[in-house]
């Protein structure tokens, strides 16, 4: 990336995340814990930092207190050289209204663009799990001469109805011919008929062109004011929209297994599956890549501890992640991810589950195929994920695939 080019990063973090309820009942979607001690937003911000971007604003709105606190305490940067990561709550600069969509969020925050006066703007979502070098995408955008470039990742054509799909001209494969929202019968790629290009929700814009686009969008009564649904088609119609195929992105330290990993964790099922990807013997997404680290808050906690119980029963932990400050005493844990300060007592059985921090699973309790939010107490002999009808009667969410979700601060009793 040319040193003379000034780039501003904008992270869209105002989403409500209804499909992740009850995990988003008391927090914004980007603030949802992930992988033990991370938050979802840490992946977007780590990618931007590792890519050399040093001026980043995070646009927040919905129940943003814990998200704003996380950004202010973890992502503080030296003010030297104009380096910063800062959260910007909705300011109602254009009237007494909240953001109407992602494009409207940028429209209402154009003062940030005017203050920084960048040449290019990188816009990313805050709730995807992936690694990406944005410097390479910015260079490709500049070289192409496009006004807008959309990052895309190859997906099987059978999954096209789950994504925004980018249709390209076979004669000009770097140009977007049409942007299709969850198409039922899309064309395959010219070089791979069994695949489509799915939008990753990441964009590079020439700054003046983006300002003009969101202003024009703000005047349209028929717009949903959405980056993917309205702004990208605006540039497609002008013939100035390009696509950046993720296959060209080389992330240091990546492996053949996780090089093109990208997951939208917008549903309970996809959130659960993404955690399973972490704990594979050869991880599908590797948290241990020191060449491209994922940064997060590291509390001053002791290491995790695994002990026998009073009767001498050993703890067994298989294919799992256990965070700092946790104590496992004579329990069995398998294919699970545990947050900080988790306590699992004698004879407890925990499998295929995600447990947030400050949770206690008492002696003889069983937790199976569940997501347990923070500060939950599972009392002696209690069960989660064994009887779906019982779990529903307690007010827990049970998905169609049998994942039980227990909200924050609940005490689960033995029935």
Say if strands 366-368 and 349-351 run parallel, antiparallel, or are unpaired: parallel
Is 38 known as a binding-site position?
no
Quick check: helix, strand or coil at residue 300? coil
Contact indicator for 107, 214 with CB cutoff of 8 Å: yes
Contact indicator for 354, 23 with CB cutoff of 8 Å: no
Between 51-55, 139-143, 282-286, the lowest mean confidence (pLDDT) is in: 282-286
pLDDT single digits (tens) 222-244: 888 989 889 999 999 999 999 99
Contact indicator for 125, 201 with CB cutoff of 8 Å: yes
Is 199 known as a binding-site position?
yes
If one compares 160 and 2, the residue with the highest pLDDT of the two is 160
- Closest alpha carbon to 56 in 101, 102, 122: 122
pLDDT at 393: 95
Q: Which CATH class is domain 7-278?
A: alpha beta
Strands in 327-329's sheet, in edge-to-edge order, are: 305-307, 327-329, 343-344, 360-361, 377-378, 411-412
pLDDT at 2: 47
Quick check: helix, strand or coil at residue 89? strand
Quick check: helix, strand or coil at residue 55? strand
Q: Is the pLDDT of residue 211 over 50?
A: yes
**Pairwise CA distance, residues 103 & 107, whole Å:** 6
**Pairwise CA distance, residues 113 & 101, whole Å:** 18
Is 182 known as a binding-site position?
yes
Taking residue 5's Cβ as centre, other Cβ atoms within 10 Å add up to: 12
pLDDT at 173: 75
Name the residue ranges covered by the structural domains of the chain. 7-278, 305-412
What are 162's two structure tokens?
A: 């789950």
Q: Is the pLDDT of residue 45 over 90?
A: yes
Q: How does DSSP assign 191-223, residue by residue?
A: TBTTEEEEEEEEEEEEHHHHHHHHHHHHT-TT-
pLDDT single digits (tens) 96-142: 777 888 899 999 999 999 999 999 999 999 989 999 999 999 999 99
pLDDT single digits (tens) 66-91: 888 888 888 877 666 678 888 888 87
**Pairwise CA distance, residues 315 & 337, whole Å:** 16
pLDDT at 3: 52
pTM: 0.92
- What average pLDDT is seen over the chain? 91
Q: pLDDT exceeding 90 applies to what percent of the chain?
A: 67
Is 84 known as a binding-site position?
no
Quick check: helix, strand or coil at residue 173? strand
Q: Residue 384: which pLDDT band, with cuts at 50, 70 and 90?
A: very high
Cα–Cα distance list, 72 to 68, 80, 227 (Å): 6, 17, 26
Instruction: Specify the length of the chain in residues.
Output: 415
Is 181 known as a binding-site position?
yes
Half-sphere exposure of 198 (CA within 13 A, CB side): 21
305-412 fold: UDP N-Acetylglucosamine Acyltransferase; domain 1 (2.160.10)
């Amino acid at each position: 990336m040319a040193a003379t080019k000034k780039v501003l990063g904008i992270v869209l973090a105002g989403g409500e995340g209804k499909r992740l309820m009850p995990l988003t009942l008391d927090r914004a979607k980007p603030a949802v814990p992930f992988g033990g001690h991370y938050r979802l937003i840490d992946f977007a911000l780590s990618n931007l930092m590792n890519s050399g971007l040093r001026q980043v604003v995070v646009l927040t709105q919905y129940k943003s207190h814990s998200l704003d606190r996380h950004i202010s305490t973890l992502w503080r940067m030296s003010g030297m050289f104009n380096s910063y990561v800062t959260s910007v709550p909705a300011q109602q600069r254009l009237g007494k209204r909240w953001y109407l969509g992602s494009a409207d969020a940028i429209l209402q925050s154009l003062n940030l663009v005017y203050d920084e006066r960048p040449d290019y703007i990188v816009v990313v979502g805050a709730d995807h799990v992936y690694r990406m070098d944005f410097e390479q995408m910015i260079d490709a955008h500049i070289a192409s001469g496009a006004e807008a470039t959309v990052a895309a990742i190859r997906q099987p054509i059978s999954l096209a109805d789950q994504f925004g799909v980018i249709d390209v001209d076979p004669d000009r494969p770097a140009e977007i011919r049409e942007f299709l929202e969850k198409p039922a019968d899309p064309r395959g790629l010219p070089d791979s008929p069994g695949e489509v290009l799915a939008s990753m929700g990441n964009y590079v814009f020439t700054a003046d062109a983006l300002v003009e686009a969101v202003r024009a969008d703000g005047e349209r009564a028929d717009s949903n004011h959405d980056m993917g649904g309205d702004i990208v088609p605006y540039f497609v119609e002008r013939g100035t929209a390009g696509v950046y195929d993720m296959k060209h992105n080389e992330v240091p330290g990546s492996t053949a297994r996780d090089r093109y990993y990208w997951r939208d964790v917008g549903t309970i099922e996809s959130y659960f599956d993404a955690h399973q990807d972490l704990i594979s013997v050869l991880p599908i997404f590797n948290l241990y890549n020191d060449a491209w680290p994922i940064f997060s808050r590291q509390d001053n906690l002791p290491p995790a501890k695994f002990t026998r119980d009073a009767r001498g029963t050993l703890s067994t932990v298989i294919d799992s992640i256990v965070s700092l400050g946790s104590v496992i005493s004579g329990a069995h844990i398998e294919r699970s991810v545990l947050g900080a300060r988790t306590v699992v007592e004698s004879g407890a059985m925990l499998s295929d589950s995600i447990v947030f921090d400050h949770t206690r699973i008492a002696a003889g309790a069983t937790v199976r195929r569940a997501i347990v939010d923070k500060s939950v107490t599972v009392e002696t002999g209690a069960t989660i994920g064994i009887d779906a009808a019982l779990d529903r009667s307690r007010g827990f969410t049970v998905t169609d695939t049998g994942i039980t979700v227990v909200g924050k601060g609940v005490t689960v009793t033995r029935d």
